[in-house]
Amino acid sequence: MLMSSKNKVARLHYMANNFRMLTAGDHVICAVTGQAIALDELRYWSVVKQEPYVSAEASTRAALAKG
């Protein structure tokens, strides 16, 4: 029986131009806001921090944060 990945958080490896799915799922959680991001809507992430972001604003906030 196939396991459904609907309503499950995916685990991804973020690369410069795309990402690779490590664990099946249909969304990730923004590292800044905690919002769910559907994989087909994911546009912003950090390769260095390996974190997804819901928007350019959230990405900028993460980049400017200490740590």
Question: What would the pLDDT profile of 37-60 be if each residue is shown by its tens digit?
Answer: 999 999 999 999 999 999 999 999
**Given the DSSP bridges, would you call strands 27-29 and 36-38 parallel, antiparallel or unpaired?**
antiparallel
Helix (H) or strand (E) holding 20: strand 19-23
Strand partners, 37: 28
Residue 5 has pLDDT above 80, yes or no: no
pLDDT at residue 66, as a whole number: 72
Question: Any idea where the domains of the chain sit in the sequence?
Answer: 11-64
Question: What would the pLDDT profile of 10-19 be if each residue is shown by its tens digit?
Answer: 999 999 999 9
